[in-house]
Amino acid sequence: MNDSHDNKLTRRQFLTRGTMAASAVALPYYIPASALGRGGAVAPSERIVMGGIGVGGRGSYDLGWMLNERDVQWVAVCDVLKSRRQAAKNLVDSKQGNKDCATYGDMRQLLAERTDVDAVLIATGDRWHALAATMAMRAGKDVYCEKPACLTMAQGQMIVETARRYGRVYQTGAQRLSEPNHVFAIEMARSGRLGRIHTAYADIRWRDGQRKDWLPAEPEPPKDELDWDVWLGACPWRPYNAGYVNGGGWYHYYDFATDVAMWGAHTVAQALAGLDMTNVSFIEFDYEKPDATMVTRLSNGVKLVLYRATGSVWEPCKLWHGACGERFDGPEGWVAAADGYSEPDVSSPALLRQYRKVLSDYTARTQRPLNHARDFFDCIRSRRLTVANPDVMCRSMNICLAADICEQLKRSLKFDLHKAEFVGDPEANRMRSRAMRAPFTG
């Protein structure tokens, strides 16, 4: 019905419409460069979306470390302690320049609600590690879990089976497997540069016994400040006492922690990484006396010494100085590394001449970064096994937990590494698991 008059445009109308069209064309240029992945930023569609579970203490360190990864976006943090989850939120919001990080007091709520989360950091107290990791993987999340990864052998196997069944990426926090000095020591042993290794050492600092009593009851704080039932998780019910919560007091109680595995979760994994474990079927534990270094022997003849130094963890010992050390001895010399080293200790300066080449060969062969968190994130993208994958974790933890059981029973034991059971010792085999309190039963 329009005639020629209706189709005519005045100059003002033409200019107005032209301006509007130009604005529409120009509009995309006002989208932030970060949203397009420009200027070194990673586009939202390419980011790994993270949540944190247990974000105080070691968890706050891990969170700060991982916040530096540009392709990672943090959207949620969870801790049973309100003060810790709020501090973590503030850290995330400050780093990411917004106020978007959500907080949760119960990890079960986070896992149920946050379908946008790809992976989680788990840095709770030891009592929660295995169960939290299992629940997260069942919820479709990849997992970076602090060590020790489990309190029992049964829990370790639960992690292995869950990761395999659900196709999840799992990294345990044995970060020295990705640190240059330790990688050098491991590679020197693994590659044969020291000859056939006859003795390996792992830094094991047993405590002066783990308490099996419990503290007297105190009034529980408001549930919003600390949910005591959730704090306990699968552990036996114990009355609330601030001594457990403050300053990591739980660490000294059998109900909530392990003994050898506290250090051995790192160092036994480091020692095993330098050895050929292909055909090793069992390990024998030689129990001498309660305060002695424990000597073990692998079925291939290699002696693995769980070395218990005396005094402070930072006092020098005859094998290394510092904490979390490992050492390898072969006919061509020895090499050792521990925390705080500028370079590894070696039997001869000549062994250090290939330091850079050894590390270069390692990164070329494995295609892994010398950064434990980055290895985890790279494996999320590639879906390959991490350097501290469930099998690596389970084998090293089984040795640590077997040493614990040997110490408790005060006798020598033989452990089948393939079957994950003690040979001919029903009492020791019953100690491979602990009862888990409902409803936190996995």
How confident is the model at residue 201, as a pLDDT? Answer: 96
Q: What's the average model confidence in pLDDT over 130-158?
A: 98
Report the distance separating Cα 387 and Cα 175, nearest Å.
9
The CATH number fitting domain 175-209+258-430, selected from 3.40.50.2300, 3.30.420.280, 1.10.3720.10, 3.30.360.10: 3.30.360.10
Contact criterion met (CB below 8 Å) for 150 and 129? yes
Location of structure tokens 């590639």:
382
Q: What is the DSSP string of 47-110?
A: SEEEEEES-STHHHHHHHHHTT-TTEEEEEEE-SBHHHHHHHHHHHHHHHTSS--EEES-HHHH
Residue 385: Cβ within 10 Å count: 15
Alpha-carbon torsion 325, 326, 329, 334, what sign?
negative
Q: In 3-state terms, the chain is what percent helix, strand and coil (to 5)? A: 45, 15, 40
Would the pLDDT of 351 be above 60?
Answer: yes
Q: Do domains 44-172 and 175-209+258-430 have the same CATH topology?
A: no
Report the distance separating Cα 430 and Cα 236, nearest Å.
18
Report the distance separating Cα 308 and Cα 153, nearest Å.
22
Would the pLDDT of 218 be above 70?
Answer: yes
Q: What's the average model confidence in pLDDT over 323-340?
A: 95
How confident is the model at residue 27, as a pLDDT? Answer: 40
Q: What's the average model confidence in pLDDT over 110-131?
A: 97
Contact criterion met (CB below 8 Å) for 315 and 309? yes
Q: What's the average model confidence in pLDDT over 235-263?
A: 92
Q: What is this structure's pTM?
A: 0.89
Contact criterion met (CB below 8 Å) for 122 and 53? yes
Report the distance separating Cα 306 and Cα 174, nearest Å.
17
pLDDT tens readout for residues 68-89: 999 999 999 999 999 999 999 9
Q: Which amino acid is at 184?
A: F
* Percentage above 90 pLDDT, the chain: 78
How confident is the model at residue 195, as a pLDDT? Answer: 98
Take residue 240 and report the two structure tokens written for it.
């609330």
How confident is the model at residue 262, as a pLDDT? Answer: 83
CB within 8 Å of 125: residues ≥ 6 apart = 54, 231, 248, 250, 256, 257
Would the pLDDT of 327 be above 90?
Answer: yes
Question: In terms of pLDDT, which residue wins out, 233 or 17?
Answer: 233
Going by the DSSP 8-state scheme, the letter that residue 421 receives in this structure is E
Would the pLDDT of 8 be above 70?
Answer: no
pLDDT tens readout for residues 15-28: 344 444 444 444 44
Report the distance separating Cα 258 and Cα 235, nearest Å.
13
Take residue 142 and report the two structure tokens written for it.
């990849």
Would the pLDDT of 425 be above 50?
Answer: yes
**Where along the chain do its domains lie?**
13-41, 44-172, 175-209+258-430
How confident is the model at residue 312, as a pLDDT? Answer: 55
The CATH number fitting domain 44-172, selected from 3.40.50.1000, 3.40.50.880, 3.40.50.720, 3.90.226.10: 3.40.50.720
Q: What's the average model confidence in pLDDT over 278-284?
A: 96
Contact criterion met (CB below 8 Å) for 52 and 88? yes
Q: What's the average model confidence in pLDDT over 271-286?
A: 96
Report the distance separating Cα 349 and Cα 353, nearest Å.
7
Q: For the chain, give the mean pLDDT.
A: 89
User: What residue spans of 75-227 are helical by DSSP H?
Assistant: 82-96, 107-113, 129-138, 153-166, 180-190
Report the distance separating Cα 372 and Cα 388, nearest Å.
9
